[in-house]
Structure 1
Amino acid sequence: MNLFNSALGKNITFVRPSYFIISGFSGIPNIKYYYVFLCFVYIVSVLGNTVVMAVIYLDRNFRTPKYIAVFNLAFVDLLGSSALVPKLLDIFLFNHRYISYNDCLTFVFFSYTFLGMQVFNLIALSYDRLIAIMHPLHYHAKVNHRFMLSLIASFWVFVIIATVVLVGLLTRLSFCRSVVIDSYFCDHGQIYRLACNDNTPNYVFALFIIVLVLWLPLSFILLSYVCIGYALSKVATAQERYKAFKTCTTHLSLVAIYFIPILITYTAGSQIHPNARIINLSLTSVFPPMLNPIIYVLQTQEIKASVKKIFSQKVRKQSKIKVKKVIIK
């Protein structure tokens, strides 16, 4: 913290508020129904991602590089939902709109870390599908357990470092005017715009993060599917092309769910009402963690079969226990 502050000079008086006020959903009619919906979304997210993680952990057939990335995605979605939704409900449903300065910066760190990791998980899964279709004979040599674990670990390190810098730059700001954050959480962009002193480093680094976490990943994913489409065009039969492309539908669904709402919201810009913009962005944050496990369970035959197998085994065990109790009686 002192490192960032010293860069501004010693003669600047810093004003750090004891709290911020999150104004997000205030003034939106019938918003309590939306809070009930968020509760439902959170419960489904926790249950769905827990099921996916449990299935991958319990079934040895899923000890593959692809499902290491899927497990990490479910893990990130679970943590991301738990970091965002309960606090969001506490702020607005129970009217605890005051959040301390340190708690707000902590909120920024965890929210942006998990949101960033969601994107980089999509990159890992995209690379997995790219190699599997373009270089099927060399897939196990190029995408092995060690490679996938190293890739995911490097993503974690990068995202954490980037988020630490993002939060660190906020600590150099002085807030002598408003402390009202016009968002549904401690939004980095809304916070640095409230500063009295120069916020250019925050603005520049925010642009850098947007390019690095939004546009570059999206470009890589789109380019990878262009290459996949080109590779599939060389496949002999339409049935083989369909079978190969079917392995990509789950990942494409995840990409669409994550990127399309963000692109629509930011492309429309000022044409969207501020309240609609806040709701759209909040849905963008909470919807993918809920839908990701549902998509994987419904569209992946292996996971569907494993879930049915695990539940059938539990039913058999329970029926055997009941039979034993009846015999004993």
Structure 2
Amino acid sequence: MDIRNNTGISKFLLLGFSEDPELQPLLFGLFLSMYLITVLGNLLIILAVSSDSHLHTPMYFFLANLSFADICFTSTTVPKMLWNIQTQRKVITYEGCLSQMYFFILFSGLDVYLLTVMAYDRFLAICHPLHYTVIMNPQLCGLLVLVTWIISLLHSLLESLMMLQLSFCTEVEIPHFFCELNQMIQLACSDTFLNNMVMYFAAVLLGGAPLSGVLYSYAKIVSSILGISSAQGKYKAFSTCTSHLSVVSLFYCTGLGVYLSSAATQSSHSSAVASVMYTVVTPMLNPFIYSLRNKEIKRALMRFSGMAALKG
């Protein structure tokens, strides 16, 4: 397929956060640090889960997949932004912009669906503990992850193919630090009605349905926990899902906050700054949230670091 829009435009300009030369070293150091922490933290989660047989359970299998998705999620936007800051260039090619948008939609969708699958896993573990091991067998776990990948791939492919139909009249300046779908549609000079319809329909169907599933799962979880007689039993049951609930709240609250605030203020610059919360900050905090209150993850990381030291 020839990736080219109707007007033959070859590049866009990513305006980023600030044009002040004095702020560029600060922005570069800040985002480089956050990116390295994100990659290292999530990579440690993956290594801990894969190296420790005690963590070969559905919950940690989904967690390792979430960590992989988070690494890829931030890697679609931050490295290009760092390169632009370092080289003092804001250019991104048309093909590069489409590729960035494709992978951003892919891995953001994957994050959403994996969080939904993890909520379903916690629902079965707490509400149906006797049937949990039978239902959440390795075949079902693999199938659930495969389905999340297929849905994400098809959605991102659809949005990218729809974008190929749009025309851009001049050298387009994108008031963001990456090629964000909504911004791209707004900057097109051709009819965007169908693109907007597909985008909003996908947001409601592929965003609202997972959120409804998460809310339903936790409503049932809370109801089951309240039915436990002992305080120790309640604490143990609730502690198994607090980390996931924290990540879900952080991801959805920041993501919804960005789009609601941008719709209210119509400020592209404030939207770009707010987008940092769910594109960079949330993936960076996920490993800390899952490891700080999780004794099994801590033990696995200690065993892994001990084995690495012995081999070294």
Give the TM-score category using the shorter length. over 0.9
1:17 paired to 2:9: yes
Match for residue 288 of structure 1 among 282, 287, 301: 282
Structure-1 residue corresponding to 2:294: 300
CA 1:190/1:213 → structure 2, altered by over 3 Å: closer, same or farther? Answer: same
2:266 is equivalent to residue 277 of structure 1: no
**Quick check: 1:134 aligned with 2:127?**
yes
Q: Distance in 1 between matches of 2:111 and 2:233?
A: 31
Q: Give the secondary structure class of the aligned counterpart of 1:20.
A: strand
Instruction: With the length of structure 1 as denominator, give the TM-score of the two structures.
Output: 0.88
Amino acid at match of 1:20: F
2:37 is equivalent to residue 44 of structure 1? yes
Aligned mates of 2:269, 2:185 — CA distance in 1: 20
What are the ranges of 5 or more consecutive residues in structure 2 without an aligned counterpart?
A: none
Letter in 2 for 1:35: F
Which amino acid is 1:70 matched to? L
Distance 2:184 2:260 in 1: 22
Q: CA deviation at 1:34?
A: 2.8
Q: Please report how far the alpha carbon of residue 83 of structure 1 lies from its aligned counterpart in structure 2 after TM superposition.
A: 2.1
User: Aligned pair 1:64/2:57, yes or no?
Assistant: yes
Contact 2:9 2:170 in 1 (8 A): no
Structure 2 CA distance for aligned equivalents of residues 218 and 32 of structure 1: 38
Q: TM-score, normalising length from structure 2?
A: 0.92
* Mapped pair 1:160 → 2:161: no
1:108 aligned residue = 101
Q: Is the 8 Å Cα contact of residues 80 and 111 (structure 1) preserved in structure 2?
A: yes
Higher radius of gyration, 1 or 2: 1
Quote how far apart the aligned CAs of 1:68 are.
Answer: 1.3
Seen in structure 2, the aligned counterparts of structure 1 residues 176 and 164 have a Cα distance that, compared at 3 Å, is same
Q: Deviations over 1:53-75 (max 9, x none)?
A: 11111111111111111111111
Note the aligned Cα RMSD (angstroms). Answer: 2.2
Correspondences of 1:232-271 after superposition (within 5 Å): 232-268=225-261, 269-271=263-265
Which of residues 15, 18, 26 is equivalent to 1:33?
Answer: 26
Write the distance in 2 (CA, Å) between the matches of 1:59 and 1:23.
44
In structure 2, how many angstroms separate the alpha carbons of the residues matched to 1:159 and 1:135?
A: 29
Residues 215-262 of structure 1: CA distance to partner in whole angstroms, max 9, x if unpaired? 222222112111111111211112211110010111011112211112
2:210 corresponds to which residue?
217
Amino acid at match of 1:173: L
Helix, strand or coil at the partner of 1:137: coil
2-structure distance, mates of 1:274, 1:189: 11
TM-aligned CA deviation for residue 166 of structure 1: 0.4
2:141 counterpart (133, 142, 148): 148
* Deviation larger for 143-152 or 265-274: 265-274
Conserved? CA contact 1:177–1:194, under 8 Å: no
Query: Does the 8 Å CA contact 1:265/1:272 hold for their aligned counterparts?
Result: no
Partner letter of residue 259 of structure 1?
A: Y
Q: Which amino acid aligns with 1:310?
A: F
Matched, 1:173 2:166: yes
Letter in 1 for 2:251: Y
Is the Cα–Cα contact under 8 Å of residues 24 and 85 in structure 2 kept in the other structure?
A: no
8 Å contact 2:35–2:74 — kept in the other structure? yes
**Structure 1 unaligned runs (5+)?**
6-12, 319-329
| Contact 2:11/2:171 (<8 A) preserved | no
The structure-2 alpha-carbon separation of the partners of 1:218 and 1:306, relative to structure 1 and needing over 3 Å to count, comes to same
Once residues 248 and 289 of structure 2 are traced to their aligned partners in structure 1, the CA distance between those partners, rounded to angstroms, is: 12
Are the counterparts in 2 of residues 24 and 278 from structure 1 also a CA contact under 8 Å? yes
Of stretches 207-216 and 196-205 in structure 1, the one that deviates more from structure 2 is 207-216
Superimposed CA distance per residue, residues 97-140 of structure 1 (whole angstroms, 9 cap, x where no aligned partner) = 11111111111111111111111110111000000011000001
Query: Is the 8 Å Cα contact of residues 77 and 177 (structure 2) preserved in structure 1?
Result: no
